[in-house]
Amino acid sequence: MLFKNTIILCGLAAFMQVNAQQAPSVTLKEAAAFPVGFAIDPVRVKNSEPFRRTVLEQADGITATNCMKPSRIARQKGVYDFDQADQLIDFAIANGKRVHGHTFVWYIDSAPGWMKQIRDSTELENALKNYIQAVGTHFKGKVASWDVVNEAFDNKTGAVRQDSVDQDGKTLLNVGGILGKDYVARMFQYAHQADPGALLFYNEYDQEKNAGKLNAVLGMVADFKKRGIPIHGLGLQMHINVNTPDAGIENALKKLAETGLLIHISELDISMNTARTKPFQPTAEQLEKQYRKYKFVADAYKRLVPEKQQFGITTWGIGDADSWIPGFCKCEDYPLPFDKEYRAKKAFAGFAEGLQSK
């Protein structure tokens, strides 16, 4: 009987270890010497007590997952709906959290339908200029920083995107094709005019694995500096997986930091389901790899980004139930530091350990 109980207890201990749901001894904001943030939306803040509590306990800052995108704020041309964003920002400010605005211009989902229909360059330029003016002014003084342009560079060529449809035939905002490649610079100028106190970021994905994209970003920064275009920071989205090579992460952090700009790991999540299967249950080995990758990312950021350029690390969601990855990969995955009940995972421990590394 004693033997059987011991086996049960050992089995339970192994299960607990895999899921690592013991209460952590430190919070992320205590562990980090720079701001740690979560991408969140106001509905979860309102409806989920554990979600809200985790934001309050763990984060120094927030990014709006969706509610500050043009598709939400300007569903109709010239009509601005700030309700959701205002709710989120009031919550953040009342609780002393820094707000990062995401995003003024994005070629994909976030552009409203009416904007995607515009073909005339003057009309589109004015639509974007007016949007940035209205929204930047509305949030002035409340938003510390903005992703001004998101994902401008093409995955294959590294040139400014000029596609009007994606591979599935979905309409895109062909801002590069209609306005020309220098539109990115003009959007930064409009953002600066709207809120001269806001820190302005360019945000991009895959810089840790796509040399062409990384070089495009570095080239853009060099060009902006030469021409006096206002830019203060660079966002690395870092939607990575447990097998993403460490060397690529280090290379991107190092090269981007050499610009002297603020560096934001802006949308971190670390997938385990690299085969994109459904269903998917992570093995102990995959959970261990996720733990190590979170630790590596936080440690590499500390090592390679000079302190005065450390804008922070933001994860895209808090718990696995918030993640956009399952919808995107049409598979199951668990890419975040907290589980679906907002209990700290092993990945959380890795993140906290990396943040505390010397």
Among 158, 176, 333, residue whose Cα is nearest residue 241: 333
Give the nearer residue to ligand XIL in terms of CB position, either 103 or 286.
103
Q: Which amino acid is at 25?
A: S
Q: Which helix (H) or strand (E) holds 89?
A: helix 83-94
Residue 172: both structure tokens together: 């895109």
Give min distance, CB of 97 to ligand XIL, in A: 19
CA atoms of 192 and 164, how far apart (whole Å): 28
Give the nearer residue to ligand XIL in terms of CB position, either 150 or 309.
150
Q: What is the DSSP string of 180-238?
A: -TTHHHHHHHHHHHH-TTSEEEEEES-TTT-HHHHHHHHHHHHHHHHHT----EEEE--
DSSP state of 160: B
Give the nearer residue to ligand XIL in terms of CB position, either 150 or 207.
150
Q: Which residue's CB comes closest to ligand XIL?
A: 324
CA atoms of 298 and 24, how far apart (whole Å): 17
Contact 188, 148 (CB under 8 A): yes
In sequence order, the 6+-apart residues with CB closer than 8 A to the CB of 10 are none
C-alpha dihedral sign at 325, 331, 337, 341: positive
Contact 240, 208 (CB under 8 A): yes
Give the nearer residue to ligand XIL in terms of CB position, either 259 or 266.
266
State the catalytic residue, choosing from 125, 204, 208, 267.
Answer: 267
What end-to-end distance do the CA atoms of the chain give, in Å? 47
Q: Which residues bind ligand XIL (CB under 6 A)?
A: 65-66, 109, 150, 237, 267, 324
Contact 288, 346 (CB under 8 A): yes
Give the nearer residue to ligand XIL in terms of CB position, either 66 or 302.
66
Which residue matches tokens 């509610």?
67
State the catalytic residue, choosing from 123, 125, 151, 208.
Answer: 151
Give the nearer residue to ligand XIL in terms of CB position, either 82 or 324.
324
151 is catalytic: yes
Catalytic residues: 151, 267
